[in-house]
Amino acid sequence: MKLEIQPLFNQLDNLPQIPEIVHLLINQADDVNIDFKDIANKVEKDQVISVKVLRLVNSAHYCLPIKISSIPQSLTYIGMNELKKLVIVSGLVNSIDEVPGISLEDLWLDNFRTATYAKWLADHTHIENSEMIFTAGLISSLGKVLIHLDDATTAKKINLEVKAGHQRSESERKHLGFTHQEVSAELCRIWEFPDDLVSTIYNSAEPFRADEISLAANAVYIARYISESTYSKKDRTTILAEFPVKEWQQLGLQKEDITQKMAVLLALDTGLEGVLD
C-alpha cells in the first residue's frame, strides 16, 4: 500500500462491510464445483439482498412469464451467472452508506454501465473471466467515496477540474498522489478478494502505466470512459477525439469500428437500476 493511501484505511471499522454471501460469490467465481442450490439457499437467508434480487428478477429487463417469489425459483429461470451478478450488485449497493456531497445514485448508475460495457467488451473480444471484469467495473470507482470521506475539500476540487476537462487520474495524482482506482484496489485487498480482481481494478485508472498489458484493465478503462463521457456534457466530436484508441486497439478492435460499437454499448440495458429503489 502506498503511504499516501494509508490514512484512508486507518479506521477499518468505518470501511464498508461486505455481506458474507457476496464475499463467497466473488471468491468462488472460478469454482466449477460450486453448489448452485446451496448458494441459492444462502442468498435467501439474507432478507435485504433477497428482496432486491427478486425485485430485479421480476423487472421488465428479464420479461419472465411468471412472477418469481423465491431465490431458488429465480435460479431456475435466470441461471447461476445472472443470479450471482444480481446478488453481488445488491450486496455492494447495500454496503455503501449515504455520503454528504456525493450522489450515490449517480455513482452506482455509472458503475452499472461501466460493468455492463466492460463485460460486453470482454465477451466480444474473447478476454477470459468476463464475470470478474464485470465485478471490477462495478467496484473500481468506490475509492471516490473513501477519498471524499477523508478529504471532501480536495475531492470537490478534483471534481471541478474534471468538469473543466482535466483527466481525473491526473488531477488525483496531483492533489493526492494516487488514483481512486488504487484506493478501490486496496479496499478489495482488505476484503480479501482475488488477486486478479485487485490488479484489474488497480490498473484500470491508467492501463498504459502498468508493467504488463492487462486486457481486463483495458476493458474496464474503456467502459468507464464511454459511460462517463457520454453522460457528461461533452459533445460527440470531443468524445471521439479523446477516445482511448490505443487501449481499444489492444483489445483487437479496429479504430474505424468505434462509432458503431459505441452505439451497441450505449443501447445495452443494465437491468440493475431497480436495486436503487
Give the CATH number, domain containing residue 163: 1.10.3210.10
Q: What is the pLDDT of residues 206-265, one digit of tens each?
A: 998 888 889 999 999 999 999 999 888 788 899 999 999 999 999 999 999 999 999 999
Q: Among 80, 95, 110, give the residue marking a domain's end.
A: 95
The answer to whether residue 1 sits within a structural domain is no
What mean pLDDT, rounded, does the chain reach? Answer: 92
Helix (H) or strand (E) holding 260: helix 258-266
Q: Are residues 16 and 142 in the same domain?
A: no
Q: What is the pLDDT of residues 72-86, one digit of tens each?
A: 999 999 999 999 999
Q: Are residues 146 and 84 in the same domain?
A: no
Residues of the domain holding 252: 98-277
Q: Are residues 198 and 252 in the same domain?
A: yes
Q: Among 68, 95, 122, give the residue marking a domain's end.
A: 95
Q: Are residues 60 and 134 in the same domain?
A: no
Residue that the C-alpha cell 449517480 belongs to: 106
Looking at residue 1, its pLDDT comes to 54
Report the alpha-carbon distance of residue 92 to residue 265 in Å, rounded: 23
Looking at residue 2, its pLDDT comes to 59
The answer to whether residue 159 sits within a structural domain is yes
72-75 long-range contacts (CB < 8 A, ≥24 apart) are 72/37, 72/40, 72/41, 72/44, 74/40, 75/36, 75/37, 75/40
Interval 10-28 mean pLDDT: 85
Question: What is the sign of the dihedral through the CA atoms of 25, 31, 32 and 33?
Answer: negative
Contact 192, 206 (CB under 8 A): no
Highest mean pLDDT pick, 21-35, 132-146, 158-172: 132-146
The answer to whether residue 7 sits within a structural domain is no
Report the alpha-carbon distance of residue 258 to residue 264 in Å, rounded: 10
State the helix-helix crossing angle for 36-45 and 20-27, rounded to 10 degrees: 160
Cell of 1: 500500500
Cell of 38: 446451496
Model confidence at 87: pLDDT above 60: yes
Model confidence at 173: pLDDT above 70: yes
The answer to whether residue 215 sits within a structural domain is yes
The answer to whether residue 28 sits within a structural domain is yes
Structurally, the chain folds into a number of domains equal to 2
Contact 165, 151 (CB under 8 A): no
Looking at residue 179, its pLDDT comes to 96
Looking at residue 125, its pLDDT comes to 96
Interval 92-101 mean pLDDT: 89
Q: Are residues 153 and 276 in the same domain?
A: yes
Looking at residue 4, its pLDDT comes to 75
Q: Are residues 110 and 25 in the same domain?
A: no
The answer to whether residue 74 sits within a structural domain is yes
Looking at residue 11, its pLDDT comes to 66
Residue 3 pLDDT grade (very low, low, confident, very high; cuts 50, 70, 90): low
DSSP string, 97-116: PP-TT--HHHHHHHHHHHHH
- In this structure, the chain runs to a length of 277
Q: Are residues 259 and 182 in the same domain?
A: yes
Residue 2 vs residue 191, higher pLDDT: 191
Q: How many CA atoms lie within 13 A of 107 on its CB side?
A: 21
Looking at residue 165, its pLDDT comes to 84
Model confidence at 133: pLDDT above 80: yes
pTM recorded for the entire structure: 0.94
Q: Are residues 104 and 215 in the same domain?
A: yes
Q: Are residues 18 and 149 in the same domain?
A: no
Contact 204, 211 (CB under 8 A): no
Cell of 177: 498522489
Q: Are residues 194 and 239 in the same domain?
A: yes
Q: What is the pLDDT of residues 34-49, one digit of tens each?
A: 888 899 999 999 999 9
Looking at residue 28, its pLDDT comes to 84
Q: Among 75, 95, 115, give the residue marking a domain's end.
A: 95
Q: Are residues 81 and 196 in the same domain?
A: no
The answer to whether residue 202 sits within a structural domain is yes
